[in-house]
Structure formats: structure tokens, C-alpha cells
């Protein structure tokens, strides 16, 4: 037996934000990030629609990229004091993920962050509040997923919170919000989305329900991501739907070690002045993980199906896997994303010498590999890596060398 869970209502298309005024309640908290939603007027519109619905509104703003445990706990304390019956998160993955974790703490004040990280171990929510997510970026799809990523900066590790309880009740996918994304964000969120779809399709938890969503998302992303990056707004709008389909797929089929590695490397080198941005990490690691997973016959066949839907050619699955890897690497080139950590600059662009020194990477490698194996996403990967294999795979992702094991 398996489960397939999505938000009860998903409003999509231009003007979908207006559906906030149909929510029924007395108090709403809006959780928002660093300022773009305010700058472009969407925060004011959201607040206005909620007030039109007859609600008193409080705003929790300033959620940082890669939201911290501290941000979650501080936001939850404000919610406990205010007592909302709706939590509305608006923006990219960061404010929505943070708001999901705040929601848990709001409903269960004694719940610790460690409790939240117990996979599918969260108690029943919706005793105090319902949750509405409004996405402004085209990648994380957290508006429809059972996941939240929170960073423990003391440990330099990103932790996924995974439970169907945190799947939003209402998702609003309005492409007008995504049209404001800067070009670099288009690239990173888009590669996050295709990674979601590819990993969901080869996951050991895939199903007929998730497969259809994953494959169509891949087709759309192949058609629209680079054009969106280059400023085509019709493609930008299409990408907002595509990333949501990919999110529906992976929220139910789960992910794999591309995400495990991205979670555990993202903040691992913050003391050297930067993070490896999540979408860029996925973009760099995905071709390497495909080569690693393709040693599994079932995964290889499924990668071949993906290549067929992308019309890449190839007379057998081995050729199709190589063509898929080449297509994804070309996508990275078209989006100005480096191929490996060694060439990943502090600004996320390709450079001859990236911000992570080789000796530092090698020194931290065993711990990063151990943490990646222990990540919640590893269990559904089609090929389970040993410590030695994970270290070798991460080295390939550092140096951009061939995966032949």
C-alpha cells in the first residue's frame, strides 16, 4: 500500500493570489522573506486580500535564504502570542519552509527541532491553524510538498523535515510572482525542479501517479527553462507550473542522493564565505548521480525512458544514459552553472578556482559523506552507496571526474 497526498486546493494562473480573500478565519500570519514580495507589491496585495476576508493580519518578515533553526523558533514564538488560524507563507522556498516548521512548533510548543526531524513522525496538525503557501520561485515546489529544509548553522548542516502533515492545505501558483525572479534564481530553481522530477521518476517509491507528473514536468522544463532564463515570459509562466508538477511527484515518490549530497554540502563550507546554493548543487551533482545509479538495471531503464521522452536518441539504455547526462550538462552550460565544486565561485558562477579549497574539501569529506548517507532522501535512492562509494562520488562532484564505479 502507498499514499498520494497533495494540497486540498491548488489555485493556478495569473491572478490566483486573489483567492486569499476566500480563506475563512479570524487571524492570519503572513511569513515572508527578504523584501522582493514587498518591493513588487505582492505582500501588500496578500495582506489586503486577507483583510478583505475579515482577518486580522500579522507579518513575520526577514526570513533568510536557507532559514535557520533560530528563525523558526522566533517565528513560532510570535505565532503562539498572536494565535492565528491561518498561516500564509509567500515567497520562495525559504519563507515557506520556515513557516512549515514554525507551524509545527506553534501547534506543539514543546516540540524540539530534533523532534521535527524524525521522518514522518510529526503529530497531527491543524488543531490551531491551516496553512496556505504562495510560491514566487519556480523550483522548490514546497507549496505542494511534505518537506521543509531548515539549516542548523552550528553544525553547518541542512536538515529535511518530512511528513505529510506539513503538506499545505492550499497552494497558490500565480505566475505573476515568478516573473519578478532575477536570472540567476531562474537557473538555480529550474535545475532544482528538473532534479526533483528525475529523482522522483527513478526513486524506489515511484508509482503510476507520480510517474506521469514527473515525466510531464521533465518535458516542460526541457522546453521552457533555458527560454525562461533568457527572458521569455511565456516560458517563465510555464516553468511555474512545471516545477509544481515536479513537486507533486517528489512529495509522494520521494527523492535520492542528489538531494542528500546537496543538503550536506550546502552550508558545509560557510566559514569560507559562501554557501553552495541548493539548485546549483543539484545541477552539478545530478549528472554524476545518474552515472552512479545507472549501474542499477531498473534505474538505467528508467533513465532511458526519460531520455526517450526528451527525444535524445540512443539505440540502447547505455547510450540513452550518456545522452541524458550530456543534455543536463549542456543545460548547466546554457544557465551559466559550473560542473563541479572546484569551479564553483562564491557568486555561484563558474570560475577556475572556486571558493572551497581542495584540502578543506578532502578534510571534511568523510563527515559530509557520512551525513549524506544518513540524510532522509537516501533511503529511496535506487542504489544505496557505502561510505567509500559516497566519498568517491563526492570527489567526482568536486573534480568533475567520471563516475566509473
- How many whole angstroms separate alpha carbon 13 and alpha carbon 141? 15
Give residue 46's pLDDT. 97
Site of grid cell 527572458: 231
Q: How far out from the chain centre does Cα 49 lie?
A: 28
Between CA 330 and CA 398 the distance in angstroms is 18
Residue 256 Cα distances to 148, 278, 279, 332, 353, angstroms: 16, 14, 14, 20, 29
pLDDT at 156 (0 to 100): 82
Q: What is the pLDDT of residue 44?
A: 96
> Distance between CA atoms of 67 and 152, rounded to whole angstroms?
9
Burial pattern 362-372, b for ≥16 Cβ within 10 A else e, equals eebbeebbebb
Q: Are 163 and 258 contacting, i.e. CB atoms less than 8 angstroms apart? A: no
pLDDT for 309 equals: 98
Q: What pTM, to 2 d.p., does this model score?
A: 0.95
Report the pLDDT value the prediction gives residue 119, as an integer from 0 to 100.
85
Report, as ranges of residue numbers, the positions in the chain whose pLDDT lies below 70. Answer: none
Those residues whose C-beta lies under 8 Å from the C-beta of residue 309, and which sit 6 or more positions away, are 215, 218, 219
pLDDT of residue 150: 94
Rounded CA separation 346/356 (Å): 9
Amino acid at each position: 500500500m502507498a499514499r498520494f497526498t497533495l494540497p486540498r486546493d491548488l489555485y493556478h494562473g495569473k491572478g490566483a493570489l486573489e483567492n486569499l480573500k476566500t480563506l475563512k478565519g479570524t487571524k492570519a500570519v503572513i511569513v515572508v522573506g527578504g523584501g522582493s514580495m514587498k518591493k513588487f507589491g505582492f505582500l501588500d496585495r496578500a495582506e489586503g486580500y486577507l483583510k478583505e476576508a475579515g482577518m486580522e493580519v500579522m507579518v513575520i518578515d526577514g526570513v533568510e535564504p536557507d532559514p535557520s533553526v533560530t528563525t523558526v523558533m522566533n517565528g513560532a514564538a510570535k505565532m503562539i502570542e498572536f494565535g492565528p488560524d491561518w498561516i500564509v507563507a509567500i515567497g520562495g522556498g525559504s519563507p515557506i519552509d520556515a513557516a512549515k516548521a514554525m507551524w509545527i512548533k506553534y501547534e506543539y510548543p514543546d516540540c524540539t527541532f530534533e523532534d521535527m526531524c524524525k521522518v514522518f513522525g510529526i503529530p497531527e496538525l491543524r488543531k490551531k491553524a491551516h496553512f496556505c503557501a504562495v510560491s514566487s520561485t519556480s523550483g522548490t515546489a514546497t507549496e505542494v510538498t511534505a518537506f521543509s529544509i531548515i539549516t542548523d548553522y552550528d553544525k553547518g548542516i541542512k536538515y529535511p523535515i518530512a511528513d505529510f502533515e506539513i503538506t499545505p492545505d492550499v497552494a497558490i501558483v500565480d505566475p505573476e510572482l515568478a516573473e519578478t525572479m532575477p536570472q540567476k534564481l531562474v537557473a538555480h530553481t529550474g535545475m532544482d525542479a528538473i532534479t526533483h522530477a528525475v529523482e522522483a521518476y527513478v526513486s524506489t517509491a515511484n508509482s503510476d501517479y507520480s510517474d506521469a507528473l514527473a515525466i510531464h514536468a521533465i518535458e516542460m522544463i526541457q522546453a521552457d527553462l533555458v527560454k525562461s532564463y533568457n527572458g521569455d515570459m511565456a516560458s517563465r509562466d510555464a516553468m511555474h507550473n512545471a516545477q509544481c508538477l515536479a513537486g507533486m511527484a517528489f512529495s509522494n515518490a520521494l527523492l535520492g542522493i542528489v538531494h542528500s549530497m546537496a543538503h550536506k554540502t550546502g552550508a558545509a563550507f560557510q566559514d569560507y564565505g559562501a554557501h553552495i546554493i541548493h539548485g546549483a548543487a543539484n545541477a552539478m551533482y545530478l549528472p554524476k548521480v545518474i552515472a552512479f545509479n545507472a549501474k542499477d538495471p531498473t534505474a538505467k531503464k528508467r533513465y532511458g525512458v526519460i531520455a526517450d521522452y526528451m527525444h535524445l536518441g540512443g539505440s540502447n539504455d547505455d547510450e540513452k544514459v550518456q545522452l541524458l547526462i550530456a543534455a543536463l550538462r549542456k543545460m548547466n552550460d546554457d544557465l551559466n552553472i559550473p560542473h563541479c565544486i572546484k569551479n564553483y565561485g562564491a557568486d555561484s558562477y563558474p570560475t577556475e578556482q572556486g571558493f572551497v579549497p581542495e584540502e578543506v574539501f578532502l578534510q571534511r569529506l568523510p563527515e559530509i559523506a557520512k551525513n549524506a548517507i544518513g540524510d532522509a532522501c537516501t533511503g529511496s535512492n535506487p542504489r544505496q552507496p557505502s561510505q567509500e562509494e559516497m566519498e568517491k562520488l563526492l570527489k567526482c562532484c568536486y573534480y568533475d571526474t567520471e563516475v566509473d564505479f
